[in-house]
Amino acid sequence: MTHHPTTSKEYHKHTSTTCSSIYNMYYVHFPFSMLTKTESIILHISVLSFMVFILYGIYSYLPACAMTALSQGYFYIFGDPLE
């Protein structure tokens, strides 16, 4: 059973714990304490650029793939090409 915050204080407490847990997950799984400032910046840039490339790839590829799948599905079901 999930708890849904009802008051403003409960909502801010819930969102702050969610944000802090995401922050902790990010910083615990990467060895930031052993990196210098320059290495940390390079790692951040690498991780963020990788995430941006993945999201852009999904954004640019998914519509074309979905239209192809819809067109082929229509052809398999009805026997006529989708125009």
> Are the CB atoms for 82 and 70 separated by under 8 Å?
yes
Q: For residue 54, what are the CA distances in angstroms to 2, 39, 70?
A: 31, 22, 24
For 10-45, how does the pLDDT look when each residue is reduced to its tens digit (9 = 90+)? 545 555 677 777 777 777 766 677 888 898 889 889
Residue with tokens 């790692």: 43
Which two structure tokens, joined as six digits, stand for 25? 């997950």
Q: Supply the pLDDT for residue 79.
A: 84
Convert the pLDDT of each residue in 37-82 to its tens digit: 898 889 889 988 999 999 998 888 888 888 888 888 888 888 877 6
